[in-house]
Amino acid sequence: MKKELLIATALVSTLGAASVANAVTATMSGSHHTGLKGDNTDAAGTNDVTSQVVASSFSVSLSETTDGGVGIATSFMLANEAVNTGLSTAGLTLTFTDGSKLDVIKGGNAAATHDVSVPGGAGEAGVTVTSTNNAPDGLDFFGEATAIGFEWHSAADFMADGLKISASVSADDGAASTTAAALESSWGLGATYVTSAGDTALTIGAGIADSEYKDSVTPPSNGANGYHIGFSAVTGNLTVAAGYASGDDVRTDTEYEISNATVSKVGVKYVSGDVTLSAGFTSGESDDNALGSVGGTTDSKDITEAGVSYAVASGVTANLGWKDIDANNEGVNDTTAGSSWYIGANTAF
């Protein structure tokens, strides 16, 4: 028995030494936030509801550089509770000596890489509208990608000072489409241009994408395609941003074909010491119908939001947010919409 223990100890020690000698650089990050949220829907006879919001995430990033100067990086998530569905795992990112990068395996769509961030509220305020309301509220509602794909990112100052571009392509991964539509292929292009006008730093972002879908029963008439464009202007502590997107989409979980979709966003943010004030407005609408038929009745969402964030300490932020959603589903007032408030704290490392 003693001999077996000695052998096991030696084996573990050997494997441990080999693991350390060949280990990549690992960094960890995560967050945990909790607070109270109050919802007041437009439905007659319903009561205001106050509930606790808890969301946590924990992820690990792995990276190393070859002797030739090429960086290799990937990441995975250990926990993603009440933030998004599922865990996020990346493919591989290669960073070359000229500053360009290549995402291989699950590369993504280049159009989404370059959508401009528009300020809005703070925290987790918001009500959930009817699930069949397909009006979009994000600038990157179109443009998907399969795991069999790559995305190339240029170095900074590509062909012009302040310009960066990206391009992506993905291919059919063979996923069955017997009970729902499945993505077949996609491509995307995007660009971001950064410049200055006096004391103002100006960022302009734009993207275009197209995706093809398949279905063994009724294939969609159109795939997901469209474009977005936006800008962000920063003058001192003040940020003003706006964006617009237009296109078509396919919702695979409910077999909807979404056409004539548009989103307009505008927002403002002001930072004063440890306090950040923000507000935004989003208006989205689209026509939805069963697969194989475009048109239908219009869905819409108008979202008004505001927030206050206070940096309490390093990695700790207190948030106070408010959001109001006015929605129509199939041309009829969506009574699941309404207003919501949130108060809570976010801790991150």
78-137 per-position pLDDT tens digit: 877 765 556 778 889 999 999 999 999 888 899 999 999 999 999 888 888 877 888 889
Per-chain mean pLDDT for the chain = 86
Q: Could you tell me which residue, 215 or 294, shows the higher pLDDT?
A: 215
In a domain, 233, yes or no: yes
219-244 per-position pLDDT tens digit: 777 778 999 999 999 999 999 999 99
Q: CATH no. for residue 39?
A: 2.40.160.10
Indicate the pLDDT class of residue 259, thresholds 50, 70 and 90.
confident
Kindly tell me if the per-residue pLDDT of 12 is higher than 60: no
Of residues 164, 211, 166, the one with CA closest to residue 187 = 211
Of residues 267, 232, 265, 219, the one with CA closest to residue 246 = 265
Q: Could you tell me which residue, 66 or 215, shows the higher pLDDT?
A: 66
Domain count, the chain: 1
In a domain, 283, yes or no: yes
Residue 222 is inside which H or E element, if any?
A: none
pLDDT of residue 22: 67
pLDDT of residue 224: 87
In a domain, 52, yes or no: yes
Kindly tell me if the per-residue pLDDT of 74 is higher than 90: yes
In a domain, 4, yes or no: no
In a domain, 311, yes or no: yes
**pTM (2 decimals)?**
0.83
The gap between the terminal CA atoms of the chain, to the nearest Å, is: 45
Return the half-sphere exposure (C-beta side, CA atoms, 13 A cut-off) of residue 136.
Answer: 27
DSSP 141-175: -S----SSEEEEEPPSSSSSTTEEEEEEEE-----
In a domain, 10, yes or no: no
Burial of 78 (0-12, 13-18, 19+ CB in 10 A): exposed
**What is the residue range of 161's domain?**
28-348
Q: Please give the share of the chain, as a percent, with pLDDT higher than 70.
A: 90
pLDDT of residue 1: 42
CB atoms within 10 A of CB 264: 17
Q: Once rounded to an integer, what is the mean pLDDT over residues 190-198?
A: 94
Kindly tell me if the per-residue pLDDT of 323 is higher than 90: yes
In a domain, 1, yes or no: no
Give the DSSP letter of residue 89: B
